[in-house]
């Protein structure tokens, strides 16, 4: 972050400063913020978050022992560590992040949507880094009311661009996050049934994503999915230049698609800046759509198409997001275990059905979360869809996913644990088979992946 004295920081967050006569109280600069007392160093502000299980206030002595310069607290602690007291540490971090963002003059892109956020972020960050140099991007899934401020607090004068994810599970959350991020460019990937339980309807989800639009900087741009049902809804609310992406009529589209396994996804991008051949190490048509969104944003920011293509050519799959791996028995395992929405599961099923493999095509499915009252019917629909697409088997982890296995019919199996599911699958897998592993984060299907990729006979 841009350095601040402790007094300046206290003024920025509206806090009260309590400090002994130390260097920190006299102006030692605060240069970074952390919520982990184990990761502090000289110049660090330790933010004492109060969680459901852990209270950061209990770790001030550890933070001081690790050379933290100060702590952000909600109540005074008996410590020699200088402290800034605020009513809410989370809100203070947001205020501090907003201040740090105001000092950042390079382009900042915000990405939101039900699916594809992380893939678009990784693609765009690679493109921008290839053109501009040092780029800040959201780490992991730090895209909520805490994660976004922590990401913005990592912005430094040496960063030449930034790509930030904005997530939400209720209305007004993106409004709050975008108000401090103040993006030059916004991207809305899509609306799916993810988080349907919290929002109640797809219309409400679309409205939540639209909250980004009011906070885009005047000379900026918004990149919208022309294939999404809510494209016109968003476009009509946009106050800045709009660029569309998609497979139908769009500013940035794709032709000459060739979808295959690792390293063989090819397409030609048709853009306002010319046409360009792209080759991806990522699988699936949805990743072509993700690439089109990133291409549109990068093009607006002046990244040449040839530079974009070269950056994407070597980009590797993120763990848990359709990463091809060698499975037990020597066949192919597609690890898509990071998370799942109903639409994403259908897209993954389509991909699996279309892959040019000669052996069995199997789906290992964990339950999908946050679907509300529609959960049972959605899981059953997914099982029926997998059958219709010609998959050879559906192996479900106990829970709502068992309804998908039941709806799949013959070839649908259910296991109570990841270990039991792995043992069932080992009987089916061989050198010609392909297994797709999918499920919501709460299903922890990555545990199944770990059981099926080690010590496999080949």
pLDDT of residue 368: 94
**Angle (deg, nearest 10), helices 173-181 and 89-102:** 40
Predicted confidence band at 317 (pLDDT cuts at 50, 70, 90)?
confident
pLDDT digits (tens, 9 = 90+) for 383-396: 999 999 999 999 99
The mean pLDDT value for 285-313 works out to 97
pLDDT at 215: 98
* Comparison of pLDDT for 221 and 264, the residue scoring more: 221
CB contact burial 269-281 (16+ within 10 A = b; e otherwise): bbbebeebebebb
Residue with tokens 């997914």, as numbered in its chain: 382
Q: At 359, list the tokens.
A: 């052996």
- 3-state DSSP helix/strand/coil percent for the chain, to nearest 5? 35, 20, 40
pLDDT higher than 80, residue 265:
yes
Q: Is 67 helix (H, G, I), strand (E, B) or coil?
A: coil
* Averaged confidence pLDDT in the chain: 93
Domain 6-87 architecture: 3-Layer(aba) Sandwich (3.40)
CA atoms within 13 A on the CB side of 75: 5
pLDDT score at 357: 86
Q: Would the pLDDT of 454 be above 90?
A: no
pLDDT, one tens digit per residue, over 235-250 is 999 999 999 999 989 9
Closest CA to 336 of 452, 440, 194: 440
Burial class (CB in 10 A: 0-12, 13-18, 19+), 454: exposed
Share of the chain above pLDDT 90, in %: 80
Instruction: Say which CATH architecture domain 323-453 belongs to.
Output: Alpha-Beta Complex (3.90)
Q: Is the pLDDT of residue 58 over 60?
A: yes
DSSP strands (E only) in 185-264: 185-188, 221-225, 241-245, 253-258
70 pLDDT above the threshold of 60: yes
- Smallest CA-to-CA distance from 429 within 396, 402, 456 is with 456
| Band of residue 344 on the pLDDT scale cut at 50, 70, 90 | confident
Please state, in angstroms and rounded to a whole number, the distance separating the CA atoms of residues 429 and 329.
Answer: 6
The residues spanned by each domain of the chain are 6-87, 104-313, 323-453
Q: Say whether pLDDT at 22 is over 80.
A: no
Confidence of residue 21 (pLDDT cuts 50, 70, 90): low
Per-residue model confidence as pLDDT tens digits over 130-152: 999 999 999 988 999 999 999 99
CATH of domain 104-313: 3.40.1190.10
**pLDDT at res. 179:** 98
What interhelical angle do 342-354 and 375-388 show, nearest 10?
10
What DSSP element (H or E) covers 152?
helix 147-152
* pLDDT at residue 101 greater than cutoff 80: yes
pLDDT category of residue 424 using cuts at 50, 70 and 90? very high
State which H helix or E strand residue 436 sits in: strand 434-438
* Beta carbons of 413 and 402 less than 8 angstroms apart: no
Q: Nearest CA to 334 among 194, 427, 423, 452?
A: 452
Residue 11 confidence class, pLDDT cut points 50, 70, 90: very high
Question: What does the alpha-carbon distance between residue 1 and residue 26 come to, in Å, rounded to a whole number?
Answer: 20
Intra-chain end-to-end CA distance of the chain, in Å: 50
Q: CA angle, corner 378, sides to 376 and 113, nearest 5? A: 130
Provide the token pair at 209. 């994503």
Q: What is the pLDDT of residue 27?
A: 63
Find the range with the poorest average confidence among 162-176, 191-205, 246-260, 367-381.
191-205
Residue 404 has pLDDT above 50, yes or no: yes
Confidence of residue 24 (pLDDT cuts 50, 70, 90): very low
Name the token pair of 17. Answer: 């400063």
Please state which of the ranges 178-187, 365-374, 400-409 shows the lowest mean pLDDT: 365-374
The fraction of the chain above a pLDDT of 70, given in percent, is 96
- Whether 367 has a pLDDT exceeding 60, the answer reads yes
Q: Are 92 and 45 in contact (CB under 8 A)?
A: no
**267 in helix, strand or coil?**
strand
Q: Would the pLDDT of 283 be above 60? A: yes
């Amino acid at each position: 972050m841009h350095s601040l004295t402790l007094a300046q920081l206290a003024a920025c967050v509206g806090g009260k400063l309590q400090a002994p006569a130390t260097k920190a109280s006299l102006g030692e600069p605060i240069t970074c913020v952390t919520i982990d007392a184990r990761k502090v160093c000289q110049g660090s502000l330790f933010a004492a978050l109060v969680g459901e299980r852990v209270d950061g206030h209990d770790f001030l002595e550890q933070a001081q022992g690790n050379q933290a310069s100060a702590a952000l607290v909600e109540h005074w602690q008996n410590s020699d560590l200088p402290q800034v007291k605020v009513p809410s540490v989370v809100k203070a971090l947001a205020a501090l992040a907003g201040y740090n963002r105001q000092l950042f003059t390079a382009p900042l892109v915000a990405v939101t949507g039900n699916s594809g956020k992380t893939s678009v972020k990784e693609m765009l960050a690679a493109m921008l880094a290839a053109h501009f140099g040092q780029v800040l991007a959201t780490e992991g899934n730090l895209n909520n009311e805490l994660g976004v401020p922590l990401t913005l607090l990592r912005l430094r004068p040496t960063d030449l661009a930034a790509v930030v994810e904005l997530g939400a599970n209720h209305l007004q959350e993106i409004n709050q996050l975008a108000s401090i991020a103040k993006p030059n460019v916004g991207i809305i990937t899509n609306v799916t049934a993810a988080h349907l339980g919290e929002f109640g309807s797809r219309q409400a989800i679309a409205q939540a994503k639209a909250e980004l639009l009011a906070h885009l900087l005047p000379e900026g741009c918004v990149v919208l999915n022309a294939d999404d049902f809510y494209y016109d809804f968003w476009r009509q609310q946009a106050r800045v230049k709009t660029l569309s992406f998609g497979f139908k009529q769009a500013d940035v589209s794709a032709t000459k698609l060739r979808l295959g396994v690792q390293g063989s996804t090819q397409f030609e991008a048709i853009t306002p800046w010319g046409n360009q051949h792209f080759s991806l190490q990522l699988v699936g048509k949805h990743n072509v759509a993700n690439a089109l969104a990133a291409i549109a944003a990068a093009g607006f920011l002046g990244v040449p198409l040839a530079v974009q293509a070269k950056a994407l050519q070597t980009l590797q799959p993120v763990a848990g997001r359709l990463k091809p791996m060698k499975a037990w028995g020597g066949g192919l395992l597609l690890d898509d275990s990071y998370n799942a929405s109903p639409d994403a599961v259908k897209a993954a099923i389509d991909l699996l059905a279309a892959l040019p493999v000669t052996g069995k095509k199997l789906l290992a499915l964990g339950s999908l979360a946050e679907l509300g009252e529609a959960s049972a019917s959605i899981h059953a629909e997914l099982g029926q869809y997998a059958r219709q697409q010609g998959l050879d088997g559906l192996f479900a982890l106990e829970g709502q996913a068992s309804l998908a296995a039941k709806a799949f019919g013959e070839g649908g199996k259910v296991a109570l644990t990841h270990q039991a599911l792995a043992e069932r699958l080992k009987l089916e897998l061989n050198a010609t088979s392909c297994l797709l592993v999918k499920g919501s984060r709460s299903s922890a299907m990555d545990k199944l992946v770990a059981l099926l990729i080690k010590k496999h006979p080949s």
